[in-house]
Structure 1
Amino acid sequence: MSASPTGRGLLLLHNPRSGTSVVRADPMPEIRRRLPDAAIAELGDRSIDEVVTAALGDDDPPAVLGILGGDGSVSRVAHLARGHGLPLLVLPGGTFNHFARAAGLETVTDALDAFAAGTSRAVAVAELRIDDGEPITVLNAASVGAYPELLAQREKRTSLGKWWGGAVAAWRELHDAHRITVVRGGRRAVAWSVFVGVGVDDPRRIARMQRAGLDDPTLDARLHHARGTRLRAVTSLAFGRRTIAVLRALRLMPPASDLERILVDDIDLTVRTGEAPAVYVHDGELEEAPADEFRIRMRAVPEGLRVFARR
């Protein structure tokens, strides 16, 4: 069974906590008008896993999973869609919407148009394992080092909001950023950060937040060796093209000699956090690592997920 253009067969999850730092019109009236037959579930106190598991146990289970939320919610629903062999409808409802934008879905209307037209396609994803844990679906990128540490600082200041909390966290990182040790294939490096993104992207960037395309089953890893200052460690986390251009013009970005790029199908790293918090990030979601030394394994999966996207 497949979902109809009016939403019959679609389970759409709505995370109302996503995108709270961005002022935008409520998309739900348009969604309900164009998808009158969809089952729409607001997460509230229920987790994504609980809602999907209950729906799949019904006599009339969904044929398509959908999510209105940010990259973290999209990534989790994508993992469940892959596990149950269902296509995914992504409605951008977060702050940055990195994966939706890579799929050409700048607005909720774009996503609804793609769903109505039935234009789905297979896309490459990645699977991430921490030590011997279960695989985690990654749509955009995973990271250790300065970026997870920055998010951990921001999480302590949630009362300030995402933007002000991030600004204060960045200021703290200028003084407190920690180096980490990364081991790959017996080779040891001291680094400020490591980003591993899905698909080949602009080699001048360090922070991999949004993938460049949907098809490329390559892991593009960026290792920022800790040879420079904390200032450069923090400015390297910029991911807007204009911001990067300005910082590069001011010579605040790390030189090319401090950066190492690795293009592979899979990667295996041992991370020793030392004095840094034992955390990592995947698709913008901050996670605690099991110890201050842990293993990260990540592999690309060609055509690992089917999503509705613009032609």
Structure 2
Amino acid sequence: MPDHISPARPDGDGLLLLANSSAGEAVLRADPLPVIRERLPRARVQELGPDDDLDDAVATAMAGDDRPRVLGVLGGDGSVSRMAHLARRHGVPLLVVPGGTFNHFARSAGLDDVDAALAAFAAGTLRDVVVAELSIDDGAPITVLNAVSLGNYPQFLAERTERASLGKWLGGVGAIIVALREAQPVRVRRDGRTATVWSAFVGVGRNDPQRHAMMQRVTLADPVLDVRLHHARGSRVRAMASLAFGRRTLRVLRALRVMPPATEFEREVADSWRVHVQPDGAPAVYVHDGELEEASPSGFTLAVRAAPDGLRVYAP
């Protein structure tokens, strides 16, 4: 994976960095913007309010006389994924400063905190990163950095979103309770074969074979998709247990014998994956990089393909 020389200077000249003030429940100990402005005095650093649109801010900057040579984002996985899409559209590199709840992509890139991200930028080297492109009903492709999912994980996120006023933790507990009563499988059809599944995950790059719910990628350079299907042969309890992605949680659930048996799972590694999804009364929703999206309740086609060297990112 070749390195590239930075088109921006270490003082931030040439960088536009947008900070998403509404990104998840950030785990930052203090506001990082003063530190960012101090270490990157020539950068354009703009904080977005709840009503500001990231796409509009980038479009305005790109239309100006002093066009940014690097795009940067301080935010969670959803904001990072969207800015990655814009960086690819405008043909510029991306600086990722972790500022969300989980920061899955940032951690995969070795950017565990703000200081690591700024150090990577100061070093000035760039890494080529494999991404995925997601299309719904042959629409315009969306850049994906970590994973796409169907089934009970998007259904869980939809329930949690409805309880957002309770906070992420209490809202999540309420969503789990509802999912244990009401989660529904979906049908997926591919190459003439139809399967009824609790969930499907499409990860960027090969992932841990012992884990079904792939939220965080393990490599930046593997130009394939890792597809996992959980066939709907067991209970809702096992369906929800399969969504665990933390190592400790997985160990506990296996010890309690609530994890589904290996015979309920199917894995495929490919460079593309295309299915027709039939919700059959279940919510017509899907998730990419933690972002919940709605689709046609009468059915929709979901297509994902790996895009080698699709993005350049500052990373150690």
TM-score of the aligned structures, taking structure 2 as reference length? 0.96
Paired position in structure 2 for 1:212:
218
> Is 1:181 the equivalent of 2:187?
yes
**Tell me, which stretches of 5 or more residues in structure 1 are unaligned?**
none
Paired position in structure 1 for 2:126:
120
User: Per-residue deviation at 1:21?
Assistant: 5.7
> Is 1:168 the equivalent of 2:165?
no
Contact residue 27 and residue 99 of structure 2 kept, 8 A: no
Separation of aligned partners in 2, 1:24 and 1:191: 40
* Alignment CA distance shift 1:7-1:21 (3 Å): closer
* Alignment CA distance shift 1:61-1:21 (3 Å): closer
Separation of aligned partners in 1, 2:119 and 2:302: 38
C-alpha offsets along residues 52-101 of structure 1, whole Å, 9 cap, x if unaligned?
A: 00000000100000000000000000001001110000000000000000
Q: Which amino acid aligns with 1:302?
A: P
Separation of aligned partners in 2, 1:30 and 1:242: 34
Task: Name which of 156, 162, 187 aligns with 1:156.
Answer: 162
- After the TM superposition, list the runs of 4 or more consecutive aligned residues in structure 1 that deviate by more than 3 angstroms: none
Identity score, percent? 62
C-alpha offsets along residues 219-267 of structure 1, whole Å, 9 cap, x if unaligned?
A: 0000000001000111111111111111112111111000000100001
* Alignment CA distance shift 1:203-1:209 (3 Å): same
Separation of aligned partners in 2, 1:220 and 1:39: 38
Q: What does residue range 99-110 of structure 1 map to in structure 2 within 5 Å?
A: 99-110=105-116
> Is 1:17 the equivalent of 2:22?
yes
User: Per-residue deviation at 1:289?
Assistant: 0.7
Q: Secondary structure at the match of 1:72?
A: helix
Contact residue 150 and residue 173 of structure 1 kept, 8 A: yes
C-alpha offsets along residues 111-162 of structure 1, whole Å, 9 cap, x if unaligned?
A: 0000000121101000000002100000000001000000000010010111
Task: Name which of 64, 85, 97 aligns with 1:58.
Answer: 64
* Alignment CA distance shift 1:170-1:161 (3 Å): same
Paired position in structure 2 for 1:267:
273
Paired position in structure 2 for 1:34:
39
**Tell me, which stretches of 5 or more residues in structure 2 are unaligned?**
1-5
C-alpha offsets along residues 6-56 of structure 1, whole Å, 9 cap, x if unaligned?
A: 111000010011133646221112111101111011121221110000000
